[in-house]
Amino acid sequence: MNFLGVMVGKLVHESVLKCGLDQDVFVGTSLIYMYGKCEPKLKSVEITEQRES
């Protein structure tokens, strides 16, 4: 994934949080998948932990 893709992904994540969709299973899984592909696994783990609490 290129830099532009990462930036767009972060904007999507920000929008998800603002809209309150972060607890939606489909959306959360998609975010985990995206971060797992383009950033260190720690971000994916962080999102997973937030969803569990």
State pLDDT tens for residues 23-48: 899 998 888 888 777 766 556 667 77
- Kindly report the average pLDDT of the chain as a whole number: 79
Can you spell out the DSSP letters for 11-50? Answer: HHHHHHHHHT-TT-HHHHHHHHHHHHHHS-HHHHHHHHHH
pLDDT number for residue 19: 94
